[in-house]
């Protein structure tokens, strides 16, 4: 036996097999994050590309104050408003995804096993297609002479087309569409592990279907709901394409403002400071997630991620 | 007490869940159907149907700029797939033998690209490359893609590795095989389906990426999604739909193959 236990390690490789990968991730994931934090405390470069290596907290002041040419500072809620809107859009997106996901997740989980795999695969396919194209699809659909307006006009319900594109509504629809699979999959993962005989027992004991759903099934899939909420909220918060292509500049989110600082506005330190704020919000969301979820749903979120693949 | 209501099998059908599931499936697929459908429109105005035509496919396939963008995309996706699979295979094996603390650190590094909003990752990498004077373009995009393809390549490989019966290593060692022989003759063949599945996923993740490529493209690094974005911004014609349809088709075919390989013999 003792001999066997030393042999059990044979051929399984060693921890250093992971070193090249870890070194690469330090260089291309950790280093960019560190650079962002450093840049957020530096001065704006003369021509706007890059930074001037002079320490300042000016970028963080710019988050709250506008400076006039004479150097006078006045409170300016523009960026706070954009942060607030982004968080709000992301929360609305997560809630809408939740409402859409619970029925389909439970429905899939109650199908025969051989069907489930296929149905889950059908849910994941859109995730693996280009986000740009999925967002573009709604440019077509919500267009003034797109299929929705066409159908409504054809049926005589409306005379003039309704402007849907380039509105907050369009942005929200785009966000929901982008991240819906992230909500369906973890809820499904929880529902699949749930023993539906428990629900049947409650039903046999006289509970109505609604009561069974509310008191037995929904609490059982809560880890999936929590995981789904975070998996939708975080990427939605950093969304660039939906507000850019569907919001038409009227509904800027943080990512669009950050992109502008590295593009036309040429203020890298400020863009870096905005990014740091995004990271702070993401971390707060993750901490809140961990507190609410404790252990069970953390496992749920990882499983949901693995079920994607 | 009410009497039992039969088998309870009726509970498998919560009222309205079926129709609501159908609506959500419709919501997931109908937008893509419109993208594909309008790619065959002979009209210049995408959403005003005039008649069936393949002219937009001929149009985009003969465009020099698009051909260059496709070549860039394929080059970026192939190289970052190879690199990320090499790193991911090492990580999958290494993670098994790491101490608990090391595993936690390694795992958060690997998963970080999935948790950090992509825009932050994109501008962070841009800032890094500008700072170390690494030229923007296809090579810069390739290096960045490799980083966020690693988690996608890793998960199928890791799933495969975990299902391996440790006794096969023992048997090989007992029969006198050294570490390298065991790796080449046993570990690698056992991992092969996971590696292929992971490689296919990494390939489409890279091929479909827009934001990171957009910021790192520089002057000559336009990839296909970056080119499509420019088209959408300039003038929307069914040409955008034709290109999008081709890209969709590639993604769907590759993910289906990956799915079939990963599920086989599990």
pLDDT score at A234: 92
Domain ranges of chain A: 74-308
Structure tokens at A105: 């997740």
DSSP state of B182: H
Residue A41: Cβ within 10 Å count: 18
- Residues B31-57 have a mean pLDDT of 91
pLDDT score at A207: 75
Per residue in B239-252, pLDDT (tens digit) is 999 999 999 999 99
Of A107, A141, A201, the CB nearest to B17: A107
Q: What is the DSSP string of A60-103?
A: HHHTTEEE-TT--EEE-THHHHHHHHHHHHHHHHHHHHHHHHHH
Mean pLDDT of chain B: 89
Which range is least confidently modeled, A32-41, A145-154, B11-20? B11-20
DSSP state of A111: S
Confidence (pTM): 0.89
- What distance in Å separates the CA atoms of residue A91 and residue A236, rounded to the nearest whole number? 9
Please report residues of A whose CB lies closer than 8 A to that of B18.
107
Q: Name the residue with tokens 């007992």.
A: B174
Instruction: Tell me if chain A has a CB within 8 Å of the CB of B263.
Output: yes
Q: Strand pairing partners for A42?
A: A55
Q: Which residues contact B165 (CB under 8 A, 6 or more apart)?
A: none
pLDDT(A8) > 50:
no
Q: What is the DSSP string of A243-283?
A: IIIISTTTT--HHHHHHHHHTTT--HHHHHHHHHHHHHHHH
- What distance in Å separates the CA atoms of residue A236 and residue A231, rounded to the nearest whole number? 9
- Domain residues for the domain of B93 are 57-263
pLDDT score at A2: 40
Let me know if residue B71 belongs to a domain.
yes
- Residues B65-79 have a mean pLDDT of 96
Split at pLDDT 50, 70, 90, the class of B151 is very high
Domain CATH number, residue B186: 1.10.3720.10
- Residues B11-31 have a mean pLDDT of 87
Please report residues of A whose CB lies closer than 8 A to that of B117.
234-235, 237-238, 255, 278, 282
Of A136, A181, A309, the CB nearest to B156: A309
Instruction: Tell me if chain A has a CB within 8 Å of the CB of B146.
Output: yes
Task: Spell out a b/e string for B34-44, using b for 16 or more CB atoms within 10 Å of the CB, else e.
Answer: bbebbbbbeee
Which range is least confidently modeled, A139-143, B58-62, B83-87, B176-180? B176-180
From the CA of A72, how many Å to the nearest CA of chain B?
Answer: 31
Structure tokens at B205: 């993740």
pLDDT(A49) > 80:
no
Please report residues of A whose CB lies closer than 8 A to that of B187.
11, 13
Greater confidence (B132 vs A46) lies with B132
- Residues A158-185 have a mean pLDDT of 92
CB contact under 8 A, A255 and B126: no
Please report residues of A whose CB lies closer than 8 A to that of B153.
none
Please report residues of B whose CB lies closer than 8 A to that of A4.
170
DSSP state of A162: P
From the CA of B31, how many Å to the nearest CA of chain A?
Answer: 5
- What distance in Å separates the CA atoms of residue B244 and residue B5, rounded to the nearest whole number? 52
Could you tell me where the DSSP H helices lie in chain A?
Answer: 2-7, 19-25, 31-39, 58-62, 78-109, 113-124, 131-142, 147-154, 168-193, 196-204, 209-211, 218-220, 222-237, 241, 254-262, 268-293, 296-308
pLDDT(A68) > 50:
yes
pLDDT(A271) > 50:
yes
pLDDT score at B32: 96
Of A16, A130, A258, the CB nearest to B123: A258
Split at pLDDT 50, 70, 90, the class of B13 is low
From the CA of B124, how many Å to the nearest CA of chain A?
Answer: 4
Contact (Cβ atoms closer than 8 angstroms) between residue B206 and residue B81: yes
Of A32, A123, A136, the CB nearest to B240: A136
pLDDT(A66) > 60:
yes
Which range is least confidently modeled, A93-97, A264-268, A298-302, B32-36? A298-302
- Residues A32-56 have a mean pLDDT of 89
pLDDT(B11) > 90:
no
- Residues B210-233 have a mean pLDDT of 94
Greater confidence (B141 vs B115) lies with B141
Please report residues of A whose CB lies closer than 8 A to that of B156.
309
- Residues A84-110 have a mean pLDDT of 95
- What distance in Å separates the CA atoms of residue A92 and residue A85, rounded to the nearest whole number? 10
Q: Name the residue with tokens 């937009």.
A: B56
Of B88, B119, B248, the CB nearest to A259: B119
Mean pLDDT of chain A: 86
Q: Strand pairing partners for A3?
A: none
Q: Please tell me which residue of chain A has the smallest CA distance to B109.
A: A25
Contact (Cβ atoms closer than 8 angstroms) between residue B248 and residue B35: yes
pLDDT score at B181: 83
Instruction: Tell me if chain A has a CB within 8 Å of the CB of B114.
Output: yes
Instruction: Tell me if chain A has a CB within 8 Å of the CB of B48.
Output: yes
ipTM for the predicted complex: 0.90
Split at pLDDT 50, 70, 90, the class of A4 is very low
Instruction: Tell me if chain A has a CB within 8 Å of the CB of B118.
Output: yes
Of B11, B117, B159, the CB nearest to A306: B159
As a whole number of Å, the CA-based R_g of chain A is 24
- What distance in Å separates the CA atoms of residue B218 and residue A203, rounded to the nearest whole number? 63
Please report residues of B whose CB lies closer than 8 A to that of A15.
94, 97-99, 102
Let me know if residue B205 belongs to a domain.
yes
- Residues A67-72 have a mean pLDDT of 80
pLDDT score at B4: 45
Structure tokens at A43: 């001065």
Let me know if residue B190 belongs to a domain.
yes
- What distance in Å separates the CA atoms of residue A109 and residue A99, rounded to the nearest whole number? 16
Please report residues of B whose CB lies closer than 8 A to that of A132.
208, 210, 225, 228-229, 232
- Residues B83-106 have a mean pLDDT of 90
- Residues B60-89 have a mean pLDDT of 96
pLDDT score at A5: 40
3-state secondary structure at position A35:
helix
Let me know if residue B102 belongs to a domain.
yes
Let me know if residue B51 belongs to a domain.
no
Nearest CA to A261 out of A246, A242, A240, A284 is that of: A240
How many domains does chain B fold into?
1
pLDDT score at B84: 97
CB contact under 8 A, B15 and A25: no
pLDDT(A308) > 50:
no
Please report residues of A whose CB lies closer than 8 A to that of B144.
28
Q: What is the CATH number that goes with domain A74-308? A: 1.10.3720.10
Dihedral (Cα; B165, B171, B177, B178), 10-degree rounding: 50
- What distance in Å separates the CA atoms of residue A125 and residue B252, rounded to the nearest whole number? 7
pLDDT score at A6: 41
């Amino acid at each position: 036996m003792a001999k066997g236990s030393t042999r059990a390690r044979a051929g399984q490789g060693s921890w250093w097999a992971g070193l090249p990968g870890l070194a690469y991730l330090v260089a291309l994931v950790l280093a960019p994050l560190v650079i962002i934090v450093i840049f957020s405390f530096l001065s704006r470069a003369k021509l706007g590309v890059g930074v001037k290596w002079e320490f300042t907290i000016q970028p963080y002041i710019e988050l709250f104050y506008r400076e006039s040419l004479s150097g006078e500072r006045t409170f300016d809620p523009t960026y706070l408003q954009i942060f607030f809107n982004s968080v709000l859009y992301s929360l609305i997106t997560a809630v809408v995804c939740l409402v859409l996901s619970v029925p389909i997740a439970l429905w899939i989980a109650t199908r025969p096993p051989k069907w489930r795999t296929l149905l889950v695969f059908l849910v994941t396919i859109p995730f693996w297609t280009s986000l740009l194209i999925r967002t573009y699809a709604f440019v077509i659909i919500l267009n003034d002479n797109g299929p929705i307006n066409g159908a409504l006009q054809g049926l005589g319900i409306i005379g003039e087309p309704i402007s849907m594109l380039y509105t907050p509504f369009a942005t929200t629809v785009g966000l929901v569409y982008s991240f819906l699979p992230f909500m369906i999959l973890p809820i499904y993962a929880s529902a699949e592990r749930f023993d539906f005989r428990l629900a049947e027992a409650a039903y046999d004991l006289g509970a109505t279907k609604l009561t069974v759903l509310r008191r037995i099934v929904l609490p059982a899939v809560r880890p999936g709901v929590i995981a789904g909420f975070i998996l939708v909220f975080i990427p939605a918060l950093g969304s660039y394409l939906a507000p850019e292509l569907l919001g038409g500049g009227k509904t800027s989110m943080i990512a669009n403002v950050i992109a502008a600082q590295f593009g036309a506005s040429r203020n890298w330190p400020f863009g870096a400071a905005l990014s740091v704020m995004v990271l702070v919000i993401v971390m707060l969301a993750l901490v809140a997630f961990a507190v609410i979820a404790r252990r069970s749903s953390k496992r749920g979120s990882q499983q949901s991620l693995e079920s994607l693949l | 007490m009410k009497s039992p209501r039969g088998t309870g099998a009726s509970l498998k059908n919560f009222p309205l869940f079926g129709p609501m599931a159908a609506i959500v499936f419709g919501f997931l697929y109908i937008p893509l159907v419109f993208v594909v459908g309008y790619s065959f429109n002979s009209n210049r105005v995408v959403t005003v149907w005039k008649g069936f035509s393949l002219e937009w496919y001929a149009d985009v396939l003969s465009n020099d700029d698009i051909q260059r963008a496709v070549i860039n995309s394929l080059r970026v996706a192939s190289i970052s797939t190879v690199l990320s699979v090499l790193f991911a295979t090492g990580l999958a094996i290494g993670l098994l033998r790491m101490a608990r603390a090391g595993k936690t650190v390694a795992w958060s590094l690997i998963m970080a690209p999935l948790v950090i909003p992509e825009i932050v990752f994109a501008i962070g990498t841009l800032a890094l490359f500008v700072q170390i004077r690494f030229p923007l373009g296809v090579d810069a995009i390739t290096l960045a893609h490799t980083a966020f393809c690693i988690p996608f390549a890793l998960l199928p490989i890791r799933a495969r590795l975990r299902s391996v019966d440790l006794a096969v290593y023992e048997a090989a060692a007992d029969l006198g095989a050294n570490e390298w022989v065991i790796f080449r003759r046993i570990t690698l063949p056992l991992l092969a389906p996971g590696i292929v599945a992971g490689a296919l996923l990494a390939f489409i993740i890279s091929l479909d990426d827009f934001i990171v490529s957009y910021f790192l493209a520089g002057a000559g690094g336009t990839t296909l999604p970056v080119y499509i974005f420019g088209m959408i911004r300039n003038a929307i014609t069914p040409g955008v739909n034709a290109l999008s349809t081709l890209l969709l088709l590639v993604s769907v075919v590759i993910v289906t193959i990956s799915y079939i390989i990963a599920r086989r013999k599990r």
